[in-house]
Amino acid sequence: MAKEICIYFHRDFDGMVSAALIADYAQEKWPEARIKLFPVGYGKKERWTETKLKGDISFVLDYIFHPQATFWFDHHQTGLNYYEGTLDPTRHFFDPQKGSCALLIWEKLYDVFAYRNLNFFDLVQWAHKIDTATYQLEEIVSCEHPAFKIHLSLAIESDNAYLIELTRLFWYYKDRLFKIPLPLIVEWRFKKAYQIRKQALAEFKTKAQYDPTTKIVFFQMPQHFFTCRWAPYYFYPQCLYAVGIIELNNGRYMIAVNENPWHRSLLLNIGQLCHTFGGGGHPAVGAVTVSSLGEAHEIAMTIINQLSAAIASSDKG
C-alpha cells in the first residue's frame, strides 16, 4: 500500500511555497506516495500539540513545533512554543535567523537531503521577499507583479480549498507561474481584495491615531485591514511602530505589532514581546490573539507603553 505523506503548512505565501518545495521533494523520494496538504492557522495554536497528525510521514512547515511530526521546519523565533524537549537535527530544522521558511527549506533540502530543484528559485526568492517585507512600498501598493496579486488575494477570507489549490499551482508550475496568466479564481479574488483595499485605506485614514512624539501609530480596524497592512507607513512614513487591534471575523481580536519595514530601529524584540502575552512572531513583527475587546485594548496599551519607553530611552542615549 502506498505511503501517505501529509504536509501541514502555515496559511500564507511563505507557507505555501514551503509546502510546494516539500511536496516536490516527497514526490521524488517516494514516487508512489499519496501527498495530502493541510493549511493551518494560529487559531489552532492552543490545542496544536493535542492534534493527531495524519499520514505515514508528516511534515510541519512554517508553523509551531509538533512532537509527532516526522519532519519540522520553522523560522519563527517563538516556533518552539514552550517545548523544552530535545530536537533531532536530522528531522527538526529550526532557525529564527532565517527570514523565511521557504529559504530555510531550500537550503536544508540541499545541505541535508542532497536535493534541489532549481525551477523553484524564483518562488523561493519571492516568498523570502514578501515574508521579510524587503520590497519597496510602491511595489505592494501597485500590485503589478503576479506574486503581489497572489499575496493580496490571500488577504480576504481564504478557505482551505483555495490555499491547497494555490500550493498545487506553486508545485506544478514552479518557474512558469509568473509567466502565464493567473488562474481565474486568483484574478477574481485579487480584484475583490483590491476593491476592499480601497475602502480599508479610506477607513484607516480616518481611524488611525499618530503620536508624533513616540512615532507610534495606533488603530482599530475590521479584518479587511489585512488588504492594506502597509497603510500605517503609507500615511505616516516617519512612524517607527504600528500597533493595531483587528476585529477578526471569528469574533476574536488580534493585536498586531509591527516595526516600520522602511524605518528599522529594532529597539525591542517584538516577537518575544508578543510571546509574553501568548502570541509570537519575529524580531520586527508579532501578534497576539484574544477573545475580548477589553483584553485586546489592555494588551495593546501595555505594548505601546513599552515601545514608548524604549523609544524615549533610545532618544536620550
Residues pairing with 280 in the sheet:
287
Using one digit for the tens of pLDDT, what is the confidence trace for 6-15? 999 999 999 9
Cβ atoms 165, 154 nearer than 8 A:
no
Per-residue pLDDT at 316 exceeds 70: no
Q: Which three cell numbers stand for residue 191?
A: 480584484
Using one digit for the tens of pLDDT, what is the confidence trace for 146-176? 999 999 999 987 789 999 999 999 999 998 9
Confidence at 223, pLDDT banded by 50, 70, 90? very high
pLDDT of res. 157:
75
Give the closest residue to 203 by CA, choosing from 230, 224, 233.
224
Give the closest residue to 190 by CA, choosing from 137, 139, 150.
150
Residues pairing with 288 in the sheet:
255
Chain CA centroid to CA 295, Å? 24
Q: Which domains are assigned to the chain?
A: 4-182 (3.90.1640), 208-316 (3.10.310.30)
pLDDT of res. 1:
67
Characterize the bridge pairing of strands 216-222 and 209-211.
Answer: antiparallel
pLDDT of res. 184:
94
Using one digit for the tens of pLDDT, what is the confidence trace for 237-285? 999 999 999 999 889 999 999 999 998 877 899 999 999 999 988 899 9
Torsion of CA 73, 74, 78, 82, to 10 degrees: -10
Phi, psi of 281 (to 5 degrees): 145, -145
pLDDT of res. 20:
98
Count of C-beta atoms within a 10 Å radius of residue 198: 11
Using CA atoms, how far apart are residues 166 and 156, in angstroms rounded to an integer? 14
Cβ atoms 229, 188 nearer than 8 A:
no
Mean per-residue pLDDT of the chain: 94
Model pTM?
A: 0.91
Characterize the bridge pairing of strands 57-61 and 285-290.
Answer: unpaired
pLDDT of res. 249:
87
Cβ atoms 191, 153 nearer than 8 A:
no
Give the closest residue to 277 by CA, choosing from 302, 260, 259, 305.
302
Q: What percent of the chain has pLDDT over 70?
A: 99
